Amino acid sequence: MSYEIKLDGKFKFIEEGEGEPLMLLHGLFGALSNFRHLIEHFRKTNKVVVPILPLLELDLLHTSVGGLQKFVHRFIEHRNYNEINLLGNSLGGHVALVHILKNPERIKSLILTGSSGLFENGMGDTYPKRGDKEYIRKKTELTFYDPAMATEDLVNEVFEITNNRMKVIKIIALAKSAIRNNLGEELNQIKQPACLIWGNNDTITPPFVAKEFQRLIPNSELHFIDKCGHAPMMEVPEEFNRILTQFLSKLKTPAATV
């Protein structure tokens, strides 16, 4: 199913459904198709918002986790969203973390899946020569527990990005920024409830990363999903949506008074 991409000022985004905002931040190679099952499920209960992050449009100086966070902040202010349940996958999770630390006021809860911010295995120490499609295919397959999830369309999408010299420079800049921007010492400042949903077979941000996030974020719960890699919302959407539904429902239920 394709969704209408809306334009408001300088911002491009998807907005589906009504209710409390559920904002989704995609990763470095995150196409909107990554969130298809999530949008379809939660548009019935929430206003699902997906800003299209300008990963490759920012000038080189601002092509960083901080630059993306500022963009998200401007978008939220411009659209005047409140009580946001902020969800980020991979680099999008890192941006969500920086945002909640710098601008917590409008955020109700945080959901991370395969997030960078503490540790991640990136594209490797060497970047492929442009035109090396098999390398891209293998790297794309590593995102998933089931390599068949790396469809030809997905591989072509990543290949197209990595075949453009300026785009490659910007991807490397973002990857290096993510590695430099380690949030370990700041995560204890997060006050909002957090839900960590992780693939047990994630090789990019392995399970020990999720456990460390849980240890450092005060009010957090951790859920592992078996036979699942770096993008649970794509690979096991039903289980992902079930866990997230349960988490969001708890936030709506007033705590019992003793």
Closest CA to 233 of 29, 14, 33, 13: 33
Res. 255 pLDDT band, cuts 50 70 90: low
Confidence of residue 123 (pLDDT cuts 50, 70, 90): very low
Sheet holding 11-16, edge to edge: 6-8, 11-16, 47-51, 21-25, 84-89, 107-113, 194-199, 220-225
Segment 219-237, tens digit of pLDDT? 999 999 999 999 999 999 9
Q: 258: pLDDT confidence band, cut at 50, 70 and 90? A: very low
Closest CA to 144 of 97, 68, 89: 89
Q: How large a percentage of the chain has pLDDT more than 70? A: 92
Domains of the chain: 6-251 (3.40.50.1820)
Category of 17 on φ-ψ map: left (φ > 0), alpha (ψ -120 to 50) or beta: left
pLDDT range class, residue 124, cuts 50, 70, 90: very low
pLDDT in tens, 32-89: 778 999 999 999 999 999 999 998 888 888 899 999 999 999 999 999 999 999 999 9
What is the residue type of 1? M
pLDDT tens-digit profile of 34-47? 899 999 999 999 99
pLDDT range class, residue 146, cuts 50, 70, 90:
very high
pLDDT of residue 1: 62
Q: How confident is the model at residue 179 (pLDDT cuts 50, 70, 90)?
A: confident
The average pLDDT across 101-114 equals 97
pLDDT given at position 129: 54
